[in-house]
Structure 1
Amino acid sequence: MKLERLLVVIDAEHDRQPALQRAAELAGRTGAKLHLLQVEYHPSLEGGLLDSHLLARARDAMREERHAELTARVADLREAGLDIEVEVRWGKRRHEEVLARIAVLQPDVVFKSTHPSSALRRLLLSDTSWQLIRRCPVPLWLVHEGPWRGRRLCAALDPLHSADKPAALDHQLIGVSLELQRQLGLQPHYLHSLAPLPRSLLFDAEVAQEYDNYVAQCAREHRDAFDKLIAQYPIAPAQTHLLEGFAEEVIPRFVQEQAIDLLLMGAIARGHLDSLLIGHTAERVLERIECDLLVIKPNGKG
């Protein structure tokens, strides 16, 4: 993964901009160019009794004012030597404007701050972060508001592809981890969780008697697949972790216990209904972690 051109989504409704701070820190170390994108919208300037030309002028005036404010905000960063472009656009559906600009700018990574979001807003697909997790075609770095130690990362792997992820996605995650280790000095760890069928769900007595053998066989299959994947890379055993439990429970606990600063997860596009009712594992994990999350899609897919 390259770190040469970074797109930062500015949240107009929040004063603090963790994504800008994180991207600026990385740009200072890598020499990357920053493109700041702020999407403005106010329903009173969209229609009504005012003449359309007056509305257009009012929208332009608002965009120019916000552009000046954002430019002034990053003046110190520019003086420090960072290469920064500032852009303010108008759009009712923020994520659609962001995705449109991604298609044009082709950034290496998109940075977006995360903020509390209600379950109802996620259900209605109205939150930009959730939309970008599903649809952003390039790596998406979701920045958690808090201190950045920049020491350790964790890549959540799925070598048996139980979540229907393609095999190549695990290799992408490992490759990105090694690249971030090289460029940023982050110490990588590699985690895989396995969750055998609970004994309580086995209603057949004969099957239940074989439960221990089933659990042992399941563990062997996951261990063999995990070891086979890791063996292809210069990864020390101490960096690998095979833990039992559901991913949405194991991953947040590991992140907290190991003081992980950046979690890497793969995500694939799912059907609309599935996304509504279930959501990606990455989304469920994001609700429980207090670190940055880097979401990686299969190459060439959004």
Structure 2
Amino acid sequence: MCHFSRVLVATDDGLDARPALRKAIYFANQSHADLTVLRIQLPKQNTVNHWLQQLFTTAPAIISHERQRHPAYPDKNLRLTLKHCHATSITHAVLDELERAEYDLLILEHHEYSALRCEFGHTEDWELLQRVPVPVLYISSEPWEISGKLLTAIEVDDDAESHRLFNQQLLEVSDELAKVFNMELHLLTCYQAHDLSVSFDVQRESHQSQVSQHWQRLRQTAQPLALEDKFLHLAAGLPDDMVPEAAQRWHSNLVVMGASEHTSLLSAFKGRASEQLLNHLRCDVLALKPNNGQLQRLH
């Protein structure tokens, strides 16, 4: 059974609407899911709002790697529902729709915000991630690379049973999507080096004990998928920095990661999607929540 069978894609028909809709349709086709497209009509922007949007939105990066484009139209077997609404914000429209109908995945356009916007206020992408009860797939405007990877960011230094089960969910969803979309699955875990250095696959002698411990935990976590070591990666540094760097280095089409697992002051260090991490990623991002009932019922 597919993890996602009732998908909601929400769009305000902005500049990134068409790429998001194309990928949403392709996702629903490949996973045999019911797809609902919610078109949200927002109040007309005045001059000041338009200027602010331009100020707080960064220009998309230019990527030269070979990419594949997906069909813009669904096949005859896709169950597609179109809805239209007026709302003051995308957040209000999405939350209202989730109250009216049951979905197990929300698809949104992945916007890019300036550092100034993230520093002085929360983005709407982040607000939705915090408030919706279902996993969120953020779709970028870039087509997938032909030889792209699926990168799963996973935390392995938490021994709690609830965290172990959540890691199992992350791996099962990642493995399923990698097979459905014919992507090569890679796992990445980040840790804080004793000397606060930043690097991938650290091999220096001073780090050997720490690296060995994390390798053992990572291999143990990945054992159900029987992944070779070449698909497992360690990074010494914060996830906010290392996950986007890894996604770019390995030309990832999709990053899968946990969200809202920890709510303490140290949450940014403890394996959940932070606002900066979400904003720094330029590829598609699937954020899963550990308390999501739709995922739990599949076990």
Tell me the SS of whatever aligns to 2:13.
Answer: coil
Alignment counterpart, residue 190 of structure 1, candidates 164, 187, 191 = 187
Query: Counterparts of 2:165 and 2:186 in 1: how far apart (Å)?
Result: 19
Query: Counterparts of 1:141 and 1:289 in 2: how far apart (Å)?
Result: 13
Tell me the SS of whatever aligns to 2:150.
Answer: strand
Query: Counterparts of 2:266 and 2:238 in 1: how far apart (Å)?
Result: 19
Alignment counterpart, residue 252 of structure 2, candidates 260, 263, 269 = 260
Change in CA separation of 1:9 and 1:193 when aligned onto 2, cut-off 3 Å: same
4+ residue runs of structure 1 moved beyond 6 angstroms? 272-276
Change in CA separation of 1:286 and 1:274 when aligned onto 2, cut-off 3 Å: same
Pairs within 5 Å for 1:277-292: 281-292=273-284
Query: Counterparts of 2:223 and 2:144 in 1: how far apart (Å)?
Result: 31
Query: Counterparts of 2:221 and 2:22 in 1: how far apart (Å)?
Result: 35
How far the C-alpha of 1:244 sits from its partner, in A, is: 2.2
Task: Verify the 8 A CA contact 1:122 1:130 in the aligned structure 2.
Answer: no
Change in CA separation of 1:91 and 1:125 when aligned onto 2, cut-off 3 Å: farther
Q: TM-score, normalised by structure 2?
A: 0.73
How far the C-alpha of 1:301 sits from its partner, in A, is: 6.8
Change in CA separation of 1:269 and 1:242 when aligned onto 2, cut-off 3 Å: closer
* Counterpart residue identity of residue 165, structure 2: A
Query: Counterparts of 1:149 and 1:267 in 2: how far apart (Å)?
Result: 25
Change in CA separation of 1:270 and 1:38 when aligned onto 2, cut-off 3 Å: farther
* Counterpart residue identity of residue 138, structure 1: V
The residue number in structure 2 matching 1:172 is: 169
How far the C-alpha of 1:79 sits from its partner, in A, is: 7.3
Deviations 1:265-290 (A, max 9, x none): 101166598899xx964432233232
Query: Counterparts of 1:272 and 1:92 in 2: how far apart (Å)?
Result: 31
Change in CA separation of 1:87 and 1:25 when aligned onto 2, cut-off 3 Å: same
Task: Give the fraction of aligned pairs with identical amino acids, expressed as a percent.
Answer: 24
Change in CA separation of 1:300 and 1:81 when aligned onto 2, cut-off 3 Å: closer
Change in CA separation of 1:43 and 1:217 when aligned onto 2, cut-off 3 Å: same
Tell me the SS of whatever aligns to 1:232.
Answer: helix
Query: Counterparts of 2:211 and 2:185 in 1: how far apart (Å)?
Result: 23
* Counterpart residue identity of residue 243, structure 1: A
Tell me the SS of whatever aligns to 2:225.
Answer: coil
Pairs within 5 Å for 1:43-192: 77=73, 82-119=78-115, 121-122=117-118, 127-149=123-145, 151-161=148-158, 166-192=163-189
Change in CA separation of 1:124 and 1:179 when aligned onto 2, cut-off 3 Å: same
Structure with more helix by fraction: 1
* Counterpart residue identity of residue 5, structure 2: E
Query: Counterparts of 2:261 and 2:130 in 1: how far apart (Å)?
Result: 6
How far the C-alpha of 1:223 sits from its partner, in A, is: 2.0
Query: Counterparts of 2:4 and 2:119 in 1: how far apart (Å)?
Result: 33
Task: Verify the 8 A CA contact 1:107 1:138 in the aligned structure 2.
Answer: yes
CA-atom RMSD, angstroms? 3.6
Tell me the SS of whatever aligns to 2:224.
Answer: coil
Deviations 1:19-53 (A, max 9, x none): 21111112233332210112333289xxxxxxxxx
Query: Counterparts of 2:195 and 2:292 in 1: how far apart (Å)?
Result: 37
The residue number in structure 2 matching 1:251 is: 243
Segments of structure 1 that go 5 or more residues without pairing to the other structure are 45-75, 201-211
Structure number with bigger Rg = 1
The residue number in structure 2 matching 1:230 is: 222
Query: Counterparts of 1:22 and 1:199 in 2: how far apart (Å)?
Result: 39
Task: Verify the 8 A CA contact 1:20 1:111 in the aligned structure 2.
Answer: no
Query: Counterparts of 1:168 and 1:9 in 2: how far apart (Å)?
Result: 30
* Counterpart residue identity of residue 209, structure 2: Q
